[in-house]
Amino acid sequence: MLWKCTICGYMHEGLEAPDICPKCGQGKEKFVALSEEDAKKVFESDRTNDIHMEIVQLAMKIKDLAKEGMELNLDPACVAVFKKAHQDAWVIKQRSKAEIEQHLKKGKW
Ligand SMILES: [Zn+2]
């Protein structure tokens, strides 16, 4: 069973709603149970958002590596590859971040 705090949107998984919302501190009565269909959507979008966030982190790692490579400046061909990787990683990161933002606006979390 998935419960949603109607005050702050916090999601709780369990047989019953929590006594106190861990986020906003409101009582049990502020929680509503989601339908099975809605709960399924929440679980799916939760995993999807986690994947987007992991992609963002990996892209940041690529950016750091590319930057280090550029600084080592071994030869122009290497630096060109690192520059391209740096740019591509930025695009990958921004795409996933934009998608997460869309999900948040639509309440898909
Ligand atoms: Zn709450």
Distance in Å, CA 28 to ligand 1 centroid: 9
**Tens-digit pLDDT profile for residues 51-60:** 999 999 999 9
Pick 107 or 95 by higher pLDDT: 95
Distance in Å, CA 55 to ligand 1 centroid: 29
What gap in Å lies between CA 103 and CA 109, rounded to an integer? Answer: 7
Per-residue DSSP letter, 10: -
Asked if residues 3 and 12 have their Cβ atoms less than 8 Å apart, the reply is: yes
Distance in Å, CA 107 to ligand 1 centroid: 15
Using the structure block, give the residue that is written with the tokens 């399924």: 40
pLDDT at 104: 81
| pTM score | 0.75
**Tens-digit pLDDT profile for residues 85-99:** 999 999 999 999 999
Distance in Å, CA 33 to ligand 1 centroid: 14
Distance in Å, CA 97 to ligand 1 centroid: 25
Question: How large a percentage of the chain has pLDDT more than 70?
Answer: 98
